[in-house]
Structure 1
Amino acid sequence: MAVVASVVGFLLLLLCIWICLRCRKPRENEESADGMIKAESLQYDLATVRAATKNFCEGNKLGQGGFGAVYKGKLPNGQDVAVKRLSSASGQGDLEFKNEVLLVAKLQHRNLVRLFGFCLKGDERLLIYEFVPNTSLDHFIFDPTKCAQLDWERRYKIIGGIARGLLYLHEDSRLRIIHRDLKPSNILLDEDMNPKIADFGMARLVVRDETKANTSRVVGT
């Protein structure tokens, strides 16, 4: 009888697992569909981005990085944004790129530059971020005049903010992202001199051709 009871119990367990898997599958499909709806809601029209940046004019250019140029833009609702125009093909399909944008956009912390959305049209791949007004930390460190604004209390505050942002990326976020290129030019400062880490997650959005040697680009730690 004990053997029969064990067999029946085992079969019931298998039945329960099978039912759970059957019930979970539709929910997974619903989550995927919901994710795509969210991804589409993050997509900006190319005409809107061109108008916001005055057709990517030099006067709106904020800088040039390893992943592309960054332009200041103003959306129709008056919101200032920073638009990164990716300079190289990402190596991903459109759907994969959208899904990666959705994942990175979910990373929200007061010490991270927020990704609002993207624009995908033909060869154009654009990322739309919050605009951080006080430029990057390197402008303060290496400018003799601006450096005077970095008293020890403010430096301590900036270092603490960077550490909190990294802790979130490394330990507290679902993606567990390692930045790989952390340096003063990737630390932006808001109007209150609070630090915000930029360019995190770029390795997910841009797949470089690793077969070509690149010794000219120094990667930070």
Structure 2
Amino acid sequence: MALGSLADHLLLDSRDNGNGNAPRAEGGAARAELGDAHARRAGRRPGLEYLHETANPPVIYRDLKSSNVLLDDALCPKLSDFGLAKLGPVGDRSPRVMGTYGYCAPEYVRAGTLTVKTDVYSFGVLLLELVTGRRAVDSTRPAAEQLLVAWAMPMLRDSKRYRELADPLLRGDFPERDLKQAVAVAAMCLQEEASARPLMSDAAMTLAYLAEAAAAASSNTTPS
């Protein structure tokens, strides 16, 4: 794809060109999300929402991560690498846990329980990467910070600390309300119990609204 993967654009070590002028990630992220909003308005369901809620039987992607989200020249996201994807039934158990460490849902790691909510958890990790600019797993960091979800969890449980999660390359230049809503979506997706996580359609709708609001704000118009 023309612009590589989402990982190429949102992770700190891949964005810094050595002179302190790392490219900004939030514009591309918003445009990528806006592409999904446009798809929804055109009657098409984006990405995981289509796999989970339109495909019959549902498709569990099982390897959602930033390096598997590819971007075209308009920054519209495309899922790639369906090698681990699995058709329903929902609630199936996988005798062998597969996927990428740091993105796998706890019930899948513990017992091999595989549902569409497994993907929702992985999406929460992906969204947390986007918000923080950190990798899901980073062995170069101090031990307490190597696993992104474990490091972020105390802040995810306290809305007053959401701002601490923001990517430092944003330099505080973002709407506080939008950050809180994005982090809240990530927190819901990362619930320990699968049943407490939202459907992908609910998460996608919230993020599409945020993307449209950001686009409207940048053009000094008010979203409907």
TM-score by length of 2: 0.30
Larger relative contact order (CA 8 Å, sep ≥ 6): 2
Which structure has the highest helix share of the two?
A: 2
Question: Please, what TM-score do these two structures have when normalized by structure 1?
Answer: 0.30
